[in-house]
Structure 1
Amino acid sequence: MSNSNSDEEARTERARRIGLFRYMLIREAADPSLTRRQRGTLVRKLAQQEHIDADGRPVRISRWTLDRWILEWRQGGFDALVPSPRQSQPRTPPEVVELAVALKKENPDRTAAQVRRILRAQLGWAPDERTLQRMFHRTGLVALRSDKPKDSFGRFEADRPNELWVGDALHGPRIDGRKTYLFAFLDDHSRAVVGHRWGFMEDTVRLAAALRPALAARGVPQYIYVDNGSAFVDSWLLRACAKLGVKLVHSAPGRPEGRGKIERFFRTVNGEFTVEIASDKGEVGREIKDLAEMNRLFTSWVENVYHRRVHSETKAEPLARWMAGAPFAVPRIEDLAEAFRWSEHRRVAKTATISLHGNRYQVDPQLVGHKVELVFDPFDLQTLRVRLDGKDAGTANPFQISRHSHPKARPETPAQEEQPRAATTGIDYLNLIDIAHSNHLGGKINYAALAEPPAEAVDLTDQG
């Protein structure tokens, strides 16, 4: 009986301490002489501060709770701030709190839900998950972090050429005041550069200009491994790989392991090639005039220098190691063209018309109400193929044309936007790499042919 009385007295005393704590906290803001604006300023300030509660613990009190306490004090005085003795009893027994703290400290990665499950298994009861979360925040346990050993990654190398290509983009020097970007693809097994292209933009068109001729000349790899840059996650790349049977793999965000080889290649590019271009002077002592010349010189450096030099890790020339797996099957021209077309889905209106980026087209009336796939060259929005459920459904005839190219299909120079289908003088990279491929398979390398552009050159950006 005496124990029961002592417990009741302890609860009553604690309830009074809680009431006193509440009163001391709100007494200044509860002054009747204050205006609403003045009271609001004080309450907001109190809500932003940390206070020591009746049990000596640091706590924060919300503005809503402070306003409620002020209203209760006005209506019932100090007694209204004192909770009933039973309510003042801590709902979570101290021994449960101590065990929860010990479990969290033992393994900081444990969540409140996990701690609750362990408590229930050991004690048959546990406070709810939110109570544990508040307790962990109040005691600072959420800041604990377990000491995890750093992940160790073994050296990986593909077993054969064209098993894995690694792609990435390098920010390069300026030409004629404009920043350049290099898209490159490296064969993981041989370290051979299977595709590359310098451009003025880091977008899908420049990426296609590097990858498409690489696939045409070097064959189709089993995997392509890239990061999560905007050009590499675009839907067109996923479609192109799916059409050619390539498995596209993206590295996990924040975990770039696996791209070390191409990053090492980019360091070599910066140390041996771009260092000569950065000052707008080529290694032959003349000014680099445009991208065509930069791409031509880079191709010559890759084939004459990089591919012919023994690699420090493989102990073999990159091109020779890649050629050890030849011959490679290359995709058909029509299959490659189909893979690198872009597509979008639209629903056919009741008027048998369809809209695409401001343009309107007339389609077969039998397609009214159906959602169809429009397949097109991004630089030519006047010629669209229509497909329904993967089958050809004719063409979309231009009805009202205001845009001739896709918004993402930006040419290298703004002047090209006015005449999107006009050929521009440059270098035919597809033909260039075809020449290199045929020479390599023949057992000889004609670097003179590689360093010079074909007689009739067309910039690949015009081909999408």
Structure 2
Amino acid sequence: MLHTGPGPESAVSKQKVIVLSVTEQGLSISEAARRYGVSRRWVHVLIRRYRDGGTAALAQRSRRPHNNAHRIPPPTADRIRSLRRDLTAAGLDAGPVTIAWHLAREGITAPSTSTIRRILHAAGLITPAPRKRPKSSLHRFEAAQPNETWQSDFTHWPLADGTDTEILNFLDDHSRYLLACTAYRPVTGTAVSETFLKTANQYGLPASTLTDNGLVYTSRFAGGKGGRNSFENLLHALKITQKNGSPGHPQTQGKIERFHQTLKKWLSGQPRAETLQDLNAQLEKFRHIYNHERPHRALDRKTPVQAYNATVKAVPLTARQGGHWRVRVDRIDMTGKVSLRYAGRLRHIGLGRAYAGKHILMLIHEQDIVITETATGEILRELTLDPSRDYQPRQKKTPRSEDRGVTYVATHP
């Protein structure tokens, strides 16, 4: 029989010769290493083995451990591959961090993200991504508290028949929590103000907002002598700091710009909505997934809802200063009146039939009331409520604006 290379017997013989050259012939470790073309370290190893177990201990030993503690159970590897396929098909994040999160949620011990990546690569499930800017070159701003800054923007998405819609979003800067995600046709200034108020009714008022310079957010670049728009008037009345990005620098609103990519990736994996109502149902489903089932690397693998609820929330400046005005949202009825309860009785305030159906913002401090139209910011009425009357006639009173600190208490749809 032909031998294609040295077998285990010849290897043992050479190792025995090396050992005996030192122990019997008196060669030094260095001399034996040079003569037989091995390292000094290997000679030391052989000598130690020989002294511990004789010539039988010189047989070549495998360096592979008898039990590989890092070997992934086949069912776990199968689940890693199936999660990758399922999440990708659904338009969701399917990276190693997300897969590890889903494994843990299913009660499966998750291997390291590098191991998950290796399994995906071996299965041909990794698509090479274009080179990204090094993280060290990015200077990211992040609010220190939930509700410190709300970012807002809208993006376009077509219905099944090609009709264009605009999806308005409010995103908490600190936690990435998606506060609101609603489709309109189109987004208007009134829609922005009403969505903001509805969102604030549920989550409390933010200390500030960050948007681009679109006309639904600001009139600063509208030209002419126009004053504030609806959203600006609303924030001014509530003493909320308004921040707008520099023109031509969308990276200022980088979080919500990246969020739009995530949203559209998910929508692309869903059946195209037939109606605006269908699309909004999809968006509400997405909002739950995004907030509750999508861990974020920048949040130390927490979900947005976990990050949003993890610490105390910021409030507007006047709330920190102990302001006493409360805010309420309402709509003028068809007879031109609004109602509120004072001292246990329902009071009715006349505004005029010309304003029937208008959405309003009421600032209330004890008996002093200021009523403004949500869409325009126009002050419709200022009055001091007369406790002796259920109906308040149209009389004007102008409280000093510098005394009008605002604290959010509650709103009513």
Greater share of residues in helix: 1
Greater length-normalized contact order (CA 8 Å, ≥ 6 residues apart): 2
The two structures have a TM-score, normalised by structure 1, of 0.38
TM-score (norm 2): 0.43
